[in-house]
Structure 1
Amino acid sequence: MTAENAGDSGGESAPNSEGDSRPVVYDLAPNCTLEDVEAGERYHAVVNGVVEYGIFVDVSDEVSGLVHESNLNRSYEVGDRLTVTLEEIKENGDLAFDAFEESTYQTVAVDHEPDITPVEELSAGDTVHVQGQVAQIKQTGGPTLFRLVDETGIVSAAAFQEAGVRAFPAVSVEDVVRVGGTVESHDGSLQIEVDSLTRLDDETSAEARQRLDAALDERAAPPSVEPLVEWPAFEKLRSDLEALARLLRRTVLEGRPIRVRHHADGDGMCASVPVQLALENFIESVHDDEDAPRHLIKRLPSKAPFYEMEDVTRDLNFALEGRARHGQRLPLLLMLDNGSTEEDVPAYENLAHYDMPIAVVDHHHPDPDAVDDLLDAHVNPYLYDEDYRITTGMMCVELARMIDPDLTDNLRHVPAVAGLADRSKAEAMEQYIALAEAEGYDRERLLDVGEALDYAAHWLRYSDGQSLVNDVLNVGCDDDARHRELVEFLATRAERDVERQMDAAAPHLEHERLDSDAHLYTVDLDEWAHRFTYPAPGKTTGKLHDRKVREHGEPVITIGYGPDFAVLRSDGVRLDIPRMVAELNEEVVGGGVSGGGHLVVGSIKFVKGMRESVIDSLVEKMAEAELDEELSSQAIVDTEI
C-alpha cells in the first residue's frame, strides 16, 4: 500500500513528522484490496452489518471482516464509523478485527496500487489491471472502445455506460490511464471488459510516459540487415534509412495510422509497394485485429512531381474524418519519390496546423533549407553529395527490409526494376541486374515490368490499384504465371501506344543547333500529340528524346511543351533545371514560372500568355550551359503532366 497523506484524529491534515509517537490509522482508498492490508495494522472502518455475534465492517469497498462481540465494549449501527485493528487474516481469506479506541492518533491515507499486467501476458478469463496510453477511442452503437498501448503491445478495452453513449468522457486520446477489468475473447482477439478506468495524475503519468517511451524506442529498433549490394555511395544513406525505419516501426507500435504518398511512376511504385507490404506485415505482428492493416495504412499515388494542394487537402480531410469517426490519431505522412522541394512547402505548412508528422524519401534535387524544418525525417542522396542515380526504389527496398527482413527474397529484383524504369546510370546497376537475373529476371523482363508499371499507373490515375500493382511488380503476388501474363499484356499495350504517339509527334519536332553545338529539339505537344492517353506529355517527351540521342550520339536537349507547361530532357549538357526555374521566375516578369526536378530532367509550369517569353528565355539558358558527356537524361516518366 502507498501512503498519500497524514492527519490527526480530528480529520485535519497534519504532517507525519519523524518521532511522532501517536499510533497510525490507515484510511484505505475505496479500490484497495487484500494486498493493501496487513495483520497488526489499524484502519478506519464503517459498519456494514450488525449480527448477534458482532459487527461486519468495511475498511474499503473491497475489504471487509468481522469484529467479534467479545472485542466490542459498545453497540453499533450500520453506517457508524470506528477504528479497528486487523487481528488475523485466516486461511480462507476471512478477516478478524478488533475495535481500536484511542483519543489521539495520526491518519495516513492509502491509495491502491494494483499489480499491472503487461498486454503481452493477457489471457482470456483473467481479471487484470493494464496501464498504458490511449491510442484510439471509438464510439460504437454499444460500448466505447479504447485502444491501449503499453510497453509490450496493444489491446482493446470495451467500456459500457449506455448503448451508444460515450463512457469515461473525460479521457482523451494520448492520456495515460489504468484500466481494470476481465479479459475476454472477442472475434478472435483479446478484449478487456472494463470495470474501472482511471486517468493518471500528472506525476504518475509522466513517469509512465517515460517508461513507455523507452520501451517503444527499444522495440522499434530495426533489425540489422546487410545491404543487397555493396555500394559505397549508398552506404552514406543507411543511417538515415535506419532512423526512418525506427520511426515507422514506432509509429505502428503507437497505433498511429500511416498515409503513404508516392510519385505515380515505376520508381515511385517500386518504392512504395515494398514499404507498404513491410508495414502491413509489421502491423499484423503488433495488432491482434486482422483488419488493422486496412485501417492503419493507406497508399495513394501523386500525379504531380510535388505534393499538390489538391492532394494534401484530400489527405487532411481523410485524416480528420478518421479522427472524428474512428477516434484515431492523425496519421504520419510518408512521401516517397516526391516531397523534397520548395514546391512541397505550402502543402507541408497546411499539415503543420494539425501537427501531422511527415517523412520523405526522395531523389529529386532538394531544397533542404525550405523543407527540413517541416519534416520529421528526410532521406535524399543529394544531402550527401550524391544524386538521382540512387533511385527512391533502391532506397525503399532497403527501408522495407529494415522494417521486415523476411521480405528480402521477394524484393531482390525490385531495385533493378526501379533503376531501369528511372534510367539510372548508377555504378551499382549491373550488380542489381545480376541480383535480379539470379531470381529469373533477365534485362528484357525487367524492362517490361517497368513499362507495365508505368502503363498501369497512367490508367489507375488516383487509385492505388494495390492488387494489380503487386501482381505486375511480383511483390506480394501468389501467382507467377498471372504476373508474367499481365506484364506481357500491359507492356505490349504500352509499346503499341508509345509507337502511335511517336508516329503522331515525331514528324513535328523542330530542330536547331545551339552555340554550344548541342542539338535542341522542340515540339508543341498540344498540337501534335494525342492528349489524355498514354503516354502522357512527360513520357512522350522522354521517348522522343531517346530517339534523338540514339540517332545523334551527341549532346541533345528536348523540350515538349503545351499551353502552360514544358517538359525538359537533356543528355550531355550540364544543366541545373531547379536553378534555371528559379531564375526564370525572377527574370520573366508575369510568367508565373514554377517547377523543377532533377538537374537534367524536369518540368515547368507558367502562365499561358507568357509561353513564348518563357520558352525563349529557357532556350537561352540552355544554350549557355556547358557540355558534359557524363550527364544523361534519367527518368522517362518523371513528370506526369
Structure 2
Amino acid sequence: MTTDDAGDSAGTTVYDLAPGCTIADVEEGNRYLATVNGVVDYGVFVDLSDHVSGLVHESNLSGTFAVGDELVVELEQVRENGDVAFDAVTLDEYEVESVDHEYDVADAGSLEERVGETVTLEGEVVQVKQTGGPTIFHVRDETGTVPCAAFEEAGVRAHPEIDVDDLVRVGGDVERREDAIQVEVDELDELDGDAAADVRDRLDAAMAERAEPHDVDPLVDWPAFEKLHPNLREVAQLLRETVLESRPIRVRHHADGDGMCASVPVQYALEQFIAETHEDPEAPRHLLKRLPSKAPFYEMEDATRDLNFALEDRARHGQKLPLLLMLDNGSTAEDVPAYENLAHYDIPIAVVDHHHPDPDAVEDLLDAHVNPYLHDEDYRITTGMMCVELARMIYPDIEDELNHVPAVAGLSDRSKADAMDDYLELAAEEGYDEDTLRDISEALDYEAHWLRYDDGRHLINDVLNVDCDDEDRHRELVDFLADRAREDVADQLDAAMSHVKHEELDNGAHLYRVDVENHAHRFTYPAPGKTTGEIHDRKVEETGDPVITIGYGPDFAVLRSDGVRLDIPTMVSELDEGIVGGGVSGGGHLVVGSIKFVQGRREEVLDSLVEKMAAADIDEELSSTLQRD
C-alpha cells in the first residue's frame, strides 16, 4: 500500500543523491528523490543515482507513472542478493538535502597492488587514443599516469565530451592486460567548480615537487663548468615536467661522436623516468624519439618532418604536441627559420649546445638555453660533458654507466679542456684507457656515417656501452668498427694527400687546401668534414706550427684551425655582406666550422676567406703547445 505521511510531513528530510553515490550512501528507512526508469506490470523501477536503482512494487503505488517521472520513495530493504525495494511516499512538504558520494580516491602509481579491485581516480586527461575497440584515456594524477579503457562499441569514441587537459573522475576495475595495468572504465565524469580546482591544485603541487631535479655533485671538480649548473637544472626540471604531463619529447642531435655522447645518456635517463611514472610499458617508446641531424643546425627539412609527424600523432593517437630538445646543435641564427616554423604551434624548445651562439637571434624562441659561451666559456666544454650531468639530474641511478662518456665526448671533439685529464682518470677507474676511449669515439663516428638519419639506438648503445647488456660484444664491436674506420681513413688519405696544396700566410700560419670533391673518394667514409679533419691533424703533427686546413667542394668548405685565432661565425657574416650574390652561410665553433656558398662564386669566396685567415692573430700560447707536442 502507499505510505501517506501528509499529515506529519513538516520537517521531513528527503535526500537527493549525487550521480556518483552508491549503495553505501543510503540507509533503510530514509526517504529519497527518485526518477522512474522503467514501467512493468508489477511496479516501476526507479533510479536514485547512477549506481542506486530498485523496484517500487505496484502494491505500494497509487496512480500511474511514466519513464522520467519523479517521486519520493522510502528505502524499504536491501536484500542479500543486492536487490533494492522501495515504498512510494506522498508528502506535502519536505526539505531536500543533497548527498555527495564520499570517494576513496586511489593513486595511479599504486594500482599494481589493486588488480581486481574497483577504484576511483581523479586527475588530468593527458592523451585520448581511439583503438579498434575501446577508447583509451591516459589519466595523470599526483603519483603517475595510467591508461583507462572505456568501451562504447568497437572503434567508436566513448565519452566524446572528454578531451585532453580535462580534469576527470574515473571509476572502474583495475585489470592487467598483456603485463600492463589498465582501468576498465565504469564511469568517467568531467570535474568542474571546487572539485576541479582542488584536483588542479593537487596536481600542480605534486608536479612542482616531482619535477625537481636531483641534487648531484659534478663528476669532476671544474670551476668553469659550475657556471652552467643552474641552466642545466632548469633544463632537467623542464624535461621532468614534460614527462610528468605526458608530453612527447623529440631529441634532435648532431650526428657525430659528441652529439651521441650527449643524446644517448639523456635518452636513457628520460626513458627510465618515463617508465617509473607511467603504467603503460609502451610509454617510453611512444613519448621519446631520438633523431640525428647531419647539418650543424636545425634544417627546415628536419623541422617540417618533425612537425608533420607531431601533428599526425596528435590526430591519430591523441598525443600532445612535443617538446623539442636540441643537443650539440641549435644555438645559431641558422636555426631561427625552423624554430619560427614550430612557433606557429607553440612547441617548446630547449637547447644544450657548445657551438658559438647567436643569442640575440634565438633567445626569444627558446624555453631554455645552455651554452658555455653564454658564461664566458667556450667549446672546450663539450655537449656530451654537459648532458651526462643533465642525465644524472634527471635520473641519477644510471650514473655508473655514464662515467666514461664525458671522456669519449671530449676526445670526439678534440677538447683541450683543463678537466680532460680528470675525465680520463674517471674513465680509467671504470676500466677504460685512453686508447680504448679513442676507439669508442672512432667507432661512434663510423657508425653515425653509415646510419645517416637513423638513430641506430641499440647499435649505438652497444658501441658507447650505455644500457648495454653484453660487455664482450661491446669490446668486440668497438675493436672491429675502429679498425674499419682507420682503414677507410687511410685509404682516403692515400687518395687525397698528394693533392693537398700548401702556402704560408702573412701571419706565419701554414695553410693547406684540398678539393675533397675531386681528389677524395665520394659517398664513403670518411665524409668531407672528417677527411679535412684527418688531413689537418696530420699536418699539425708534421709541422708543430699553427695550421689552417680548408677542404672544399663546388659549393661548400670545411675549415679547421690550430694555433690561429679565427672567428669563423664572424668571418661568415662578413663574407655574406661583402660578396654580393655569394649566398654565404654557415658557422660552427670559432676555429672549426663549415660554410656554404653559391657555386659560381666559389673562387671569390675562398680567396676572401684566405685573406681574412692571413690577417688573424697567432695564438702564441697554443702555438708553443703545438711545438712542444
- Secondary structure of the corresponding residue to residue 134 of structure 1: strand
1:500 aligns with 2:479: no
Look up the match of 1:121. 110
Listed one character per residue, the Cα deviations across residues 543-582 of structure 1 (whole Å, up to 9, x for unaligned) are 1111222222222211111111111111121111111111
Counterparts of 2:193 and 2:560 in 1: how far apart (Å)?
A: 59
Equivalent runs, 1:11-410 vs 2, <5 Å = 25-34=14-23, 36-37=25-26, 43-46=32-35, 58-63=47-52, 75=62, 77-78=64-65, 81-83=70-72, 103-104=92-93, 107=96, 112=101, 114-122=103-111, 123-201=114-192, 204-410=195-401
CA contact (8 A) 1:231 1:428 kept: yes
How far 1:174 moved relative to its partner?
Answer: 2.0
Structure 2 counterpart of 1:469: 460
Q: Kindly tell me the number of residue pairs found equivalent between the two proteins.
A: 610
> Relative to structure 1, is the Cα distance of residues 69 and 470 closer, same or farther in structure 2, using a 3 angstrom cutoff?
closer
The residue aligned with 2:449 is: 458
Q: Distance in 1 between matches of 2:474 and 2:333?
A: 39
One of 438, 441, 444 as aligned partner of 2:435: 444
Are positions 1:596 and 2:614 aligned together?
A: no
Deviation sequence 1:10-69 (CA, Å, 0-9, x none): xxxxxxxxxxx9876443334333455578976434578999x99996543434689999
Secondary structure at 1:223 match in 2: coil
Instruction: Compute the displacement of 1:510 (Å).
Output: 2.1
Aligned counterpart in structure 2 of residue 491 of structure 1, from 455, 478, 482:
482
- Decide whether the 8 Å contact of 2:555 with 2:596 is kept in 1: yes
Amino acid at match of 1:333: L
Q: Which moved more, 1:97-106 or 1:530-539?
A: 97-106
The superposition leaves residues 206-225 of structure 1 with CA deviations (integer Å, 9 ceiling, x where unpaired) of 44223212212211222222
* Distance change >3 Å, CA 557–CA 165, structure 1 → 2: same
Query: Would the alpha carbon gap of residues 66 and 199 (structure 1) be closer, same or farther in structure 2, given more than 3 Å must change?
Result: closer
Q: Distance in 2 between matches of 1:201 and 1:459?
A: 54
Give deviations 1:314-350, integer Å, cap 9, x for gaps. Answer: 2222222222222222222211111111111111111
Alpha carbons 2:147, 2:280 under 8 Å: kept: no
Residue 283 of structure 1, CA deviation: 2.0
Deviates more, 1:462-471 or 1:476-485: 476-485
Instruction: State the secondary structure of the residue aligned to 1:158.
Output: strand
> Quick one: which amino acid aligns to residue 543 of structure 2?
H
- Rounded Cα–Cα distance in structure 2 between residues aligned with 1:489 and 1:596: 34
Task: Give the secondary structure class of the aligned counterpart of 1:527.
Answer: coil
Residue 132 of structure 1 aligns to a residue in which SS? strand
Alignment of 1:524-543 (within 5 A): 524-543=515-534
SS at structure 2 position matched to 1:129: strand
CA deviation map 1:365-423 (0-9, x unaligned)? 11122212222221111111111100011111111122221211111111111101110
Mean Cα deviation higher: 180-189 or 113-122? 113-122
Secondary structure of the structure 2 residue equivalent to 1:462: coil
Separation in 2, partners of 1:283, 1:227: 24
CA distance in 1, matches of 2:150, 2:36: 32
Could you tell me how far apart the structure 2 residues matched to 1:175 and 1:631 are?
60
Structure 1: runs of 5 or more not aligned: 1-20, 633-641
Cα distance change of structure 1 residues 49 and 373 upon mapping to structure 2, 3 Å threshold: closer
Counterparts in 2 of 1:56 and 1:505: CA distance versus 1, 3 Å: closer
1-structure distance, mates of 2:422, 2:44: 86
Asked if 2 retains the 8 angstrom alpha-carbon contact of 1:555 and 1:629, the reply is no
Deviation at 1:243, TM superposition (A): 2.1
Question: Quick one: distance in 1 between partners of 2:43 and 2:517?
Answer: 100
- For residues 159 and 53 of structure 2, the distance between their equivalents in structure 1, rounded to whole angstroms, comes to 28
Q: 1:568 to 1:437 in 2, by over 3 A?
A: same
**Residue of 560, 564, 580 corresponding to 2:555:** 564
* Structure 1 residue aligned with 2:574: 583
RMSD between aligned residues: 3.0
**Could you list the runs of 5+ residues in structure 2 that have no partner in the other structure?**
1-9, 624-629
Matches within 5 A, 1:510-549: 510-549=501-540
Q: 1:493: Cα distance to partner?
A: 1.5
Identity score, percent: 71
Supply the distance in 2 between the matched residues of 1:352 and 1:591 (Cα, whole angstroms). 30
Task: Tell me, in whole angstroms, the C-alpha distance in 2 between the residues paired with 1:166 and 1:430.
Answer: 60
Alignment-mate amino acid for residue 593 of structure 1: V
Q: Provide Cα deviations, 1:244-291, integer angstroms capped at 9, x if missing partner.
A: 222222222222222211111111111111111222222222223333
Q: State the Cα deviation string for residues 570-611 of structure 1 (Å, max 9, x = none).
A: 112111111111121111111111111011111111111111
The alpha-carbon distance between structure 1 residues 78 and 408, as it changes in their structure 2 partners (threshold 3 A), is same
TM-score (norm 2): 0.89
Q: Distance in 1 between matches of 2:602 and 2:56?
A: 98
Aligned to 1:606: 597
| Partner AA of 1:239 in structure 2 | P
* Secondary structure of 1:182 counterpart: strand
8 Å CA contact 1:49–1:78 kept in 2: the answer is: no
Contact 2:144 2:279 in 1 (8 A): no
